[in-house]
Amino acid sequence: MKNFKPEIRDVQVVRYVQPFREGGSLPGLVDADDGFSYVLKFRGAGQGKKALVAELIGGELARFLGLRMPEMVFAELDESFARTEPDEEIQDLLRFSVGKNLGVHFLNGAITFDANVDEIQSEEASKIVWLDALLMNVDRTVRNTNMLIWHKELWLIDHGASLYFHHSWDNWQEQSKKPFVQIKDHVLLRYASEVEKIDEQYKTLFTEDNLWNVLNIVPDEWLIEEGRDLEPNEVRQVYVSFLKERILNSTTFVKQIENERKNGL
Protein backbone atom coordinates (compact mmCIF):
# COMPACT_ATOMS: atom_id res chain seq x y z
CA MET A 1 0.00 0.00 0.00
CA LYS A 2 1.41 3.35 -1.06
CA ASN A 3 2.14 5.67 1.84
CA PHE A 4 1.95 9.41 1.33
CA LYS A 5 3.37 11.81 3.91
CA PRO A 6 3.90 15.34 2.59
CA GLU A 7 6.30 17.79 4.19
CA ILE A 8 6.00 21.58 3.91
CA ARG A 9 8.91 23.96 4.37
CA ASP A 10 8.72 27.29 6.20
CA VAL A 11 10.02 30.47 4.59
CA GLN A 12 10.06 34.16 5.50
CA VAL A 13 8.76 36.73 3.02
CA VAL A 14 11.49 39.31 2.37
CA ARG A 15 9.93 41.34 -0.46
CA TYR A 16 6.44 41.99 -1.76
CA VAL A 17 6.84 42.36 -5.53
CA GLN A 18 3.40 42.90 -7.06
CA PRO A 19 -0.25 41.79 -6.92
CA PHE A 20 -1.90 39.47 -9.45
CA ARG A 21 -5.01 41.51 -10.05
CA GLU A 22 -6.64 38.91 -12.30
CA GLY A 23 -7.22 36.82 -9.17
CA GLY A 24 -10.27 37.76 -7.14
CA SER A 25 -8.40 37.30 -3.86
CA LEU A 26 -5.42 39.45 -4.99
CA PRO A 27 -2.64 36.89 -4.59
CA GLY A 28 0.78 38.49 -4.72
CA LEU A 29 4.21 37.70 -6.07
CA VAL A 30 6.78 37.68 -3.26
CA ASP A 31 10.42 36.82 -2.73
CA ALA A 32 11.39 34.64 0.24
CA ASP A 33 14.52 34.12 2.28
CA ASP A 34 15.26 30.82 0.50
CA GLY A 35 16.03 32.69 -2.73
CA PHE A 36 12.83 31.65 -4.54
CA SER A 37 9.75 33.57 -5.63
CA TYR A 38 6.23 32.49 -4.67
CA VAL A 39 2.64 33.30 -5.47
CA LEU A 40 1.37 34.16 -2.01
CA LYS A 41 -2.18 33.18 -1.07
CA PHE A 42 -3.21 35.51 1.76
CA ARG A 43 -5.03 34.42 4.89
CA GLY A 44 -6.64 37.87 5.00
CA ALA A 45 -8.23 37.59 1.53
CA GLY A 46 -11.95 37.20 0.85
CA GLN A 47 -12.33 33.47 1.54
CA GLY A 48 -9.74 33.68 4.29
CA LYS A 49 -8.01 30.70 5.83
CA LYS A 50 -10.51 28.19 4.38
CA ALA A 51 -9.20 28.87 0.88
CA LEU A 52 -5.68 28.14 2.14
CA VAL A 53 -6.87 24.87 3.69
CA ALA A 54 -8.54 23.84 0.42
CA GLU A 55 -5.46 24.87 -1.54
CA LEU A 56 -3.16 22.82 0.65
CA ILE A 57 -5.36 19.70 0.69
CA GLY A 58 -6.13 19.85 -3.02
CA GLY A 59 -2.55 20.50 -4.03
CA GLU A 60 -1.09 17.67 -1.98
CA LEU A 61 -3.73 15.18 -3.10
CA ALA A 62 -2.96 16.17 -6.70
CA ARG A 63 0.69 15.44 -6.01
CA PHE A 64 -0.31 12.07 -4.52
CA LEU A 65 -2.00 11.21 -7.83
CA GLY A 66 1.24 11.93 -9.65
CA LEU A 67 0.03 15.23 -11.11
CA ARG A 68 2.40 18.17 -11.35
CA MET A 69 1.81 20.73 -8.63
CA PRO A 70 4.31 23.50 -7.76
CA GLU A 71 5.90 23.20 -4.33
CA MET A 72 3.90 24.84 -1.56
CA VAL A 73 5.45 26.47 1.49
CA PHE A 74 4.28 28.15 4.66
CA ALA A 75 5.24 31.79 4.16
CA GLU A 76 5.54 34.05 7.18
CA LEU A 77 4.51 37.65 6.52
CA ASP A 78 5.78 40.42 8.79
CA GLU A 79 3.65 43.43 9.77
CA SER A 80 6.21 45.83 8.28
CA PHE A 81 4.99 45.15 4.72
CA ALA A 82 1.62 46.78 5.39
CA ARG A 83 3.29 49.95 6.70
CA THR A 84 5.28 50.50 3.49
CA GLU A 85 2.55 49.63 0.95
CA PRO A 86 1.02 52.75 -0.71
CA ASP A 87 -2.07 51.02 -2.19
CA GLU A 88 -4.77 51.07 0.50
CA GLU A 89 -6.53 47.90 -0.69
CA ILE A 90 -3.29 45.91 -0.67
CA GLN A 91 -2.23 47.59 2.57
CA ASP A 92 -5.35 46.23 4.28
CA LEU A 93 -4.78 42.79 2.77
CA LEU A 94 -1.22 42.69 4.07
CA ARG A 95 -2.27 43.92 7.50
CA PHE A 96 -4.93 41.20 7.85
CA SER A 97 -2.48 38.56 6.60
CA VAL A 98 0.34 38.98 9.12
CA GLY A 99 1.52 35.52 10.13
CA LYS A 100 1.45 32.19 8.30
CA ASN A 101 0.26 32.27 4.69
CA LEU A 102 0.56 29.81 1.81
CA GLY A 103 3.18 30.27 -0.89
CA VAL A 104 3.08 28.41 -4.21
CA HIS A 105 6.34 28.24 -6.16
CA PHE A 106 6.26 30.79 -9.00
CA LEU A 107 6.62 29.12 -12.40
CA ASN A 108 8.42 31.91 -14.22
CA GLY A 109 7.53 32.02 -17.92
CA ALA A 110 4.56 29.65 -17.65
CA ILE A 111 1.55 30.24 -19.91
CA THR A 112 -2.12 29.46 -19.30
CA PHE A 113 -3.30 26.08 -20.55
CA ASP A 114 -5.50 26.36 -23.64
CA ALA A 115 -7.57 23.24 -24.39
CA ASN A 116 -7.87 24.28 -28.04
CA VAL A 117 -4.11 24.41 -28.53
CA ASP A 118 -2.35 22.32 -25.87
CA GLU A 119 -2.44 18.53 -25.98
CA ILE A 120 -3.23 16.39 -22.96
CA GLN A 121 -3.29 12.61 -22.60
CA SER A 122 -6.56 10.96 -21.58
CA GLU A 123 -5.04 9.42 -18.43
CA GLU A 124 -3.80 12.76 -17.12
CA ALA A 125 -7.08 14.48 -18.00
CA SER A 126 -9.02 11.68 -16.28
CA LYS A 127 -6.96 12.02 -13.09
CA ILE A 128 -7.62 15.76 -12.97
CA VAL A 129 -11.36 15.43 -13.62
CA TRP A 130 -11.66 12.60 -11.06
CA LEU A 131 -9.81 14.62 -8.41
CA ASP A 132 -11.82 17.78 -9.06
CA ALA A 133 -15.06 15.80 -8.74
CA LEU A 134 -13.82 14.29 -5.48
CA LEU A 135 -12.88 17.71 -4.10
CA MET A 136 -15.92 19.44 -5.63
CA ASN A 137 -13.62 22.00 -7.23
CA VAL A 138 -15.82 24.59 -8.97
CA ASP A 139 -12.96 26.47 -10.59
CA ARG A 140 -11.39 24.62 -13.52
CA THR A 141 -13.46 25.84 -16.46
CA VAL A 142 -12.73 27.25 -19.92
CA ARG A 143 -13.00 30.72 -18.40
CA ASN A 144 -10.48 29.94 -15.67
CA THR A 145 -8.53 26.72 -16.23
CA ASN A 146 -6.15 27.05 -13.25
CA MET A 147 -3.60 25.06 -15.24
CA LEU A 148 -0.30 26.22 -16.69
CA ILE A 149 2.10 24.98 -19.34
CA TRP A 150 5.66 25.22 -18.07
CA HIS A 151 8.60 23.65 -19.91
CA LYS A 152 6.05 21.89 -22.15
CA GLU A 153 4.42 20.15 -19.18
CA LEU A 154 1.03 20.65 -17.56
CA TRP A 155 0.99 22.03 -14.01
CA LEU A 156 -2.02 22.47 -11.73
CA ILE A 157 -2.50 25.60 -9.65
CA ASP A 158 -5.16 27.00 -7.34
CA HIS A 159 -7.42 24.53 -5.53
CA GLY A 160 -8.81 27.24 -3.25
CA ALA A 161 -12.35 26.83 -4.59
CA SER A 162 -12.45 23.15 -3.59
CA LEU A 163 -14.21 21.62 -0.59
CA TYR A 164 -16.79 24.40 -0.55
CA PHE A 165 -18.86 22.46 1.99
CA HIS A 166 -16.65 24.06 4.64
CA HIS A 167 -18.19 27.48 4.03
CA SER A 168 -21.51 26.27 5.49
CA TRP A 169 -19.96 23.34 7.38
CA ASP A 170 -23.03 21.92 9.11
CA ASN A 171 -24.24 19.79 6.16
CA TRP A 172 -20.94 18.13 5.29
CA GLN A 173 -22.41 14.60 5.58
CA GLU A 174 -25.09 15.42 3.03
CA GLN A 175 -22.59 17.16 0.71
CA SER A 176 -20.20 14.20 0.82
CA LYS A 177 -22.73 11.92 -0.89
CA LYS A 178 -23.88 14.36 -3.55
CA PRO A 179 -22.98 14.29 -7.22
CA PHE A 180 -21.01 17.27 -8.47
CA VAL A 181 -23.16 19.05 -11.04
CA GLN A 182 -20.49 21.63 -11.93
CA ILE A 183 -18.35 18.89 -13.49
CA LYS A 184 -20.28 19.50 -16.73
CA ASP A 185 -18.30 22.75 -17.11
CA HIS A 186 -14.87 21.18 -16.57
CA VAL A 187 -12.41 22.24 -19.24
CA LEU A 188 -10.97 18.71 -19.55
CA LEU A 189 -14.22 16.73 -19.47
CA ARG A 190 -14.14 15.69 -23.13
CA TYR A 191 -10.62 14.31 -22.76
CA ALA A 192 -11.36 12.33 -19.57
CA SER A 193 -12.15 8.96 -21.14
CA GLU A 194 -10.46 6.84 -18.44
CA VAL A 195 -12.20 8.04 -15.29
CA GLU A 196 -13.54 4.60 -14.37
CA LYS A 197 -10.05 3.11 -14.62
CA ILE A 198 -8.58 5.95 -12.54
CA ASP A 199 -11.28 5.47 -9.92
CA GLU A 200 -10.49 1.76 -9.58
CA GLN A 201 -6.75 2.36 -9.55
CA TYR A 202 -6.49 5.20 -7.05
CA LYS A 203 -9.43 5.30 -4.67
CA THR A 204 -7.98 2.46 -2.59
CA LEU A 205 -4.82 4.53 -2.07
CA PHE A 206 -6.79 7.34 -0.43
CA THR A 207 -6.74 5.56 2.92
CA GLU A 208 -7.62 7.17 6.22
CA ASP A 209 -3.92 7.19 7.16
CA ASN A 210 -2.94 8.98 3.96
CA LEU A 211 -5.75 11.50 4.37
CA TRP A 212 -4.67 12.17 7.95
CA ASN A 213 -1.08 12.62 6.78
CA VAL A 214 -2.30 15.45 4.56
CA LEU A 215 -4.56 17.02 7.18
CA ASN A 216 -1.84 16.88 9.81
CA ILE A 217 0.25 19.41 7.87
CA VAL A 218 -2.55 22.00 7.96
CA PRO A 219 -1.62 24.55 10.66
CA ASP A 220 -3.86 24.63 13.74
CA GLU A 221 -4.33 28.38 13.36
CA TRP A 222 -5.98 27.92 9.94
CA LEU A 223 -8.54 25.52 11.43
CA ILE A 224 -9.70 27.65 14.35
CA GLU A 225 -12.78 29.69 13.52
CA GLU A 226 -14.48 32.26 15.70
CA GLY A 227 -17.93 31.09 16.78
CA ARG A 228 -17.20 27.43 16.04
CA ASP A 229 -16.59 25.28 19.09
CA LEU A 230 -14.26 22.71 17.53
CA GLU A 231 -10.64 21.93 18.29
CA PRO A 232 -8.22 21.72 15.32
CA ASN A 233 -8.12 17.91 15.36
CA GLU A 234 -11.91 17.78 15.41
CA VAL A 235 -11.94 19.97 12.30
CA ARG A 236 -9.32 17.73 10.67
CA GLN A 237 -11.57 14.75 11.42
CA VAL A 238 -14.44 16.39 9.54
CA TYR A 239 -12.26 16.87 6.44
CA VAL A 240 -11.00 13.28 6.63
CA SER A 241 -14.53 11.94 7.11
CA PHE A 242 -15.84 14.05 4.22
CA LEU A 243 -13.13 12.80 1.85
CA LYS A 244 -13.54 9.18 2.98
CA GLU A 245 -17.28 9.39 2.34
CA ARG A 246 -16.72 10.96 -1.10
CA ILE A 247 -14.35 8.13 -2.00
CA LEU A 248 -16.72 5.44 -0.70
CA ASN A 249 -19.42 6.94 -2.92
CA SER A 250 -17.14 7.67 -5.87
CA THR A 251 -19.39 5.72 -8.26
CA THR A 252 -21.89 8.58 -7.89
CA PHE A 253 -19.59 11.20 -9.37
CA VAL A 254 -17.89 8.77 -11.77
CA LYS A 255 -21.27 7.90 -13.34
CA GLN A 256 -22.10 11.58 -13.50
CA ILE A 257 -18.83 12.31 -15.31
CA GLU A 258 -19.56 9.57 -17.84
CA ASN A 259 -23.11 10.83 -18.40
CA GLU A 260 -21.97 14.41 -18.88
CA ARG A 261 -19.29 13.26 -21.33
CA LYS A 262 -21.89 11.36 -23.38
CA ASN A 263 -24.19 14.39 -23.37
CA GLY A 264 -21.40 16.69 -24.43
CA LEU A 265 -19.79 14.58 -27.15
Q: Is the pLDDT confidence value at 189 over 60?
A: yes
Is the pLDDT at 177 greater than 60? The verdict is yes
Q: What is the pLDDT of residue 1?
A: 53
**pLDDT recorded at residue 75:** 98
pLDDT for 227 equals 66
pLDDT band for position 264 (cuts 50, 70, 90): confident
pLDDT in tens, 119-172: 999 999 999 999 999 999 999 999 899 999 999 999 999 999 999 888 877 788
Q: Of 18, 7, 27, 30, nearest to 78 (Cα)?
A: 30
**Spatial contact of 101 and 52, defined as CB atoms under 8 Å apart:** yes
Specify the pLDDT at position 240.
97
pTM metric for this prediction: 0.94
Q: Which of 58-62, 86-90, 125-129, 199-203 has the lowest mean pLDDT?
A: 86-90
Mean pLDDT of 255-261: 95
For the chain, the structural domain boundaries read 9-105, 119-142+161-264
Q: How confident is the model at residue 4 (pLDDT cuts 50, 70, 90)?
A: confident
State the angle between helix axes of 122-135 and 250-264 in degrees (0 to 180), rounded to the nearest 10: 120
How far apart (Å, rounded) are the C-alpha atoms in residues 214 and 242? 14
